[in-house]
Amino acid sequence: MDVLQRNNVRSFGKGSQTLLFAHGFGCDQNMWRFITPAFEAQFKIVTFDYVGCGNSDMEAYNPNRYSSLHGYAQDIIELCDALELNQIIFIGHSVSCMIGALASIQRMYLFKSLIMIGPSAKYVNDDEYYGGFSNGDLEGLFEVMDYNYIGWASFLAPVVMKNSDQPELAQELEESFCATDPDINRKFARVTFFSDNRDDLKKLKVPSLIMQCSEDAIAPDEVGHYVAHNIPFSTFVKMEATGHCPHLSHPAETISIIHNYISA
């Protein structure tokens, strides 16, 4: 299989150091359009779509492979192998933070550092951990997803985006949710929200930046601090940006933080 076609991989920019951008659940590589122009003069940029998202090869979707985040992490590794990449700076949003972490644990030499925007190691609360959601919260969300997919998208998008002064962004996210195959999106959602990667955090051996948004309903402050506390060699930055998608709602601040971390 042509991995680059499977994941709709785009490569551009002028530098020798590679920045690999990985989108979040229900999104595609277009979500990075406000960020990548700031780096393409100095870096090689690689963007892609997970199988089942954007313009990826839908025929390549395998429910067994993608029944856990490890299947998506394998895509990252295969993409790097196909482009002969190593020592990349991985920039992941939301669930991609843990996907990148899993890939890094498996193939550490491929990664120079991890930049995590809105990471969560586990979304579900338990007796000793606060993830932001109860099992009942998520099962209710999935019930709506099963019976009223359009209604689910229109409800969740503004919650994720948060910035009511920019309603066009919530509309874009809603359209992105709806553009994805509903059956694949349901499966990806369950894998995303019911994964538990807490034990994986301490296995990371590369420097990591945790970018924590303000008023993030998907990955609240407690989650970001937990991730940062449990990853060796981590740096935590609290953003002024609100919501869960600062690369769309607050691109200037997002660019500044990434640039400062890379430069340092």
The CATH number assigned to the domain holding 162 equals 3.40.50.1820
Say which of 96, 195, 216, 249 is annotated catalytic.
216
Query: Which pLDDT score, from 0 to 100, does residue 1 have?
Result: 67
Residue 248 has a pLDDT of 97
CA distances from 53 to 7, 57, 100, 207 (A): 9, 9, 17, 29
pLDDT in tens, 219-230: 999 999 999 999
Contact 180, 26 (CB under 8 A): yes
User: For residue range 12-57, what is the model confidence (pLDDT) as tens digits?
Assistant: 999 999 999 999 999 999 999 999 999 999 999 999 999 999 999 9
| Mean pLDDT, all residues of the chain | 95
- Residue 49 CA to residue 52 CA, distance in Å, equals 8
How far, in Å, CA of 2 to CA of 205, rounded?
30
pLDDT at 179: 84
Cβ neighbours of residue 34 under 8 Å, at least 6 residues apart?
247, 248, 251
The pLDDT, as a whole number, for residue 188 is 94
The pLDDT tens digits for 59-104 are 999 999 999 999 999 999 999 999 999 999 999 999 999 999 999 9
Catalytic residue among 244, 247, 249, 250: 244
- How many independent structural domains does the chain possess? 1
Residue 244 is among the residues annotated as catalytic for this protein? yes
Q: Mean pLDDT over residues 186-205, rounded? A: 96
67 catalytic per annotation? no
- Residue in 44, 37, 46 with CA at minimum distance from that of residue 4: 46
Residue 62, pLDDT score: 96
Helices (H), the chain: 3-6, 69-83, 95-106, 135-147, 149-161, 167-179, 182-193, 198-201, 221-230, 246-249, 251-263
Region 102-113 average pLDDT: 97
pLDDT for 182 equals 87
Q: Among the options 94, 113, 195, 208, which is catalytic?
A: 94
Residue 70: closest CA among 28, 109, 106? 106
- Tokens (6 digits) for 68: 């856990």
- 129 lies in which domain range? 3-263
Mean pLDDT of the 118-133 span: 96
